Amino acid sequence: MTREQALSLTAEDRLIYFRDVRLKHPQISNVLEKLDLMTAPDTGTSIALLVGPTGVGKSTIVRNFEQQILRNHMKQMQADAGLIPVISVEAPATGERAFSWRTFYHRLGEALQEPMMTRKQETVYRDGRASIRPVMTGSTVAALQLAVESTLIHRQTKVIIVDEAVHLLRNLHGNTLENHLDALKYLSNKSGAKLVLVGSYDLHGLLDVSAQITRRCSIIHFQRYLPDKEADVLAFQKVLRKFAAHFPIEGAEDLPSVAQAKALQEACIGCVGILKETLVRALAIAMREGNRWRNGFLEPALLTPAQVRAIHREALEGEAKVDGTICGTGSFLAASRQVKENQIRAKGAA
């Protein structure tokens, strides 16, 4: 549907139309390229960590990456109706203190279209003999794990995307966290599927668990558009113009000038997702106040100063945290410097 066609819709349908607008801008293209590289076979990466600030557009990336994989496997899917090359689930936040692996495996099974996830039986091998534990109130976690592993292999799934993966880290420390990561790594190794964990900068903490985990992980940074980089400022302005081309209200050509666009970039912390949410709120205000656009509708739609302060602080802390660990930022000089620093620390500790 074009913007002109959307102008004839009801106010509610125009909001739905604009919420569904998806733009492919430079940061998305960059992240998609890295995801494609890190999830390719035989790269040595089992788990790709996609991190970025809140509101940057990580959910949009997940949808785009999923659609990209489906397009690339369209011919195989037409030839084999059982093929599911990619699945996407959200890590459960059940309110329990511990992460619910039962719920997680259930969601994976549902995404894989595996039937009867509540009736899975566990096969136990003892003294060379196999026996099946009867189902009582529901499937055991071990039975669910085996069912998911088997289904991933039969469905020939290449990529598992886990959104809100930071839920895996809640209230976990020491061996418990390492056990969780071992379970994920085992799932990837057993099925051959690559894992993409999507979430906040807190996911960076997974690299501190063990050297073995670190070697198998790659961090992909979904960077916001920075106000002190000219290329980022121009890119953000281009994104704003693209949104204006879809803005379903009269007078949308009067969306912010270049000077106002810079201020809007700072107010949105350089995050396209936050910009989109701001424009949706401004559109709702405009339709309520006469159904014609005025730039004055933007200010009441902005985040509050307290919200900007909190999100900006978290973004700055996260960017400092991942500096030097992002996919594609390695160099011989940096590696040599790190080895020398480790040697100095080791001698000092001795």
Q: Which two tokens stand for residue 17?
A: 């139309």
Quick one: 171 exposed, middle or buried, by C-beta within 10 A (0-12, 13-18, 19+)? exposed
> pLDDT value at position 119?
61
3-state secondary structure of 48: strand
Domain range for 163: 26-221
Q: What is the tens place of the pLDDT at every residue in 289-325?
A: 988 888 889 999 999 999 999 999 999 999 998 887 7
Is the CB of residue 110 less than 8 Å from the CB of residue 117?
yes
* CA–CA distance, 264 with 112 (Å, rounded to integer): 42
| Whether residue 58 is found in the same domain as residue 134 | yes
Q: Are residues 17 and 32 in the same domain?
A: no
CATH number assigned to the domain comprising residue 195? 3.40.50.300
| Residues 7 and 45 occupy one common structural domain | no
Q: Do 54 and 189 sit in the same domain of this protein?
A: yes
Cα–Cα distance measured from residue 216 to residue 124, given in angstroms and rounded to the nearest whole number = 30
Q: Within this chain, do residues 112 and 149 fall inside the same structural domain, yes or no?
A: yes
Task: Answer yes or no: is 335 within a domain.
Answer: no
Residue 349 in any domain: the answer is: no
Q: Are 108 and 92 in contact, with CB atoms under 8 Å apart? A: no
Residue 217 is predicted with a pLDDT of: 85
- Domain-located, residue 142: yes
- Distance CA(251)–CA(294), nearest Å, equals 7
> Does residue 342 belong to any structural domain of this protein?
no
In a domain, 172, yes or no: yes
Along the chain (350 residues), what's the average pLDDT of each consecutive run of 10 residues?
90 94 90 92 86 92 94 95 94 81 91 77 63 56 87 95 87 70 88 93 80 80 94 93 90 73 93 95 92 88 96 94 71 47 58
* Helix (H), strand (E) at residue 308: helix 305-322
The crossing angle, in degrees rounded to 10, of helices 272-288 and 58-72 is: 110
Query: Are 225 and 236 within 8 A, CB to CB?
Result: yes
Q: Which of 204, 221, 238 is the last residue of a domain?
A: 221
For 234-302, the DSSP string reads HHHHHHHHHHHHH--SBTGGGS--HHHHHHHHHHTTT-HHHHHHHHHHHHHHHHHTTSB--GGGSGGGS
Residue 336 belongs to some domain of the structure:
no
Of 221, 253, 278, the last residue of a domain is: 221
Widest pairwise Cα distance in the chain: 79
Q: Which residues contact 131 (CB under 8 A, 6 or more apart)?
A: 123, 124
Residues 235 and 246 in one domain: yes
- Same domain assignment for residues 72 and 86: yes
List the one residue out of 255, 302, 279, 314 whose CA is nearest residue 14: 279
| Same-domain check for residues 86 and 182 | yes
The Cα 205–Cα 228 span in angstroms is 28
Residue 330 is assigned to a structural domain of this protein? no
Q: Could you give the number of structural domains in the chain?
A: 2
- The pLDDT tens digits of the residues spanning 66-110 come to 999 999 999 999 999 999 999 999 998 877 777 888 899 999 999
H or E stretch covering 78: helix 74-79
Domain assignment present for residue 60? The answer is yes
The residue among 193, 221, 249 that closes a domain is: 221
The pLDDT assigned to 173 comes to 58
47 plus 15 within the same structural domain: no
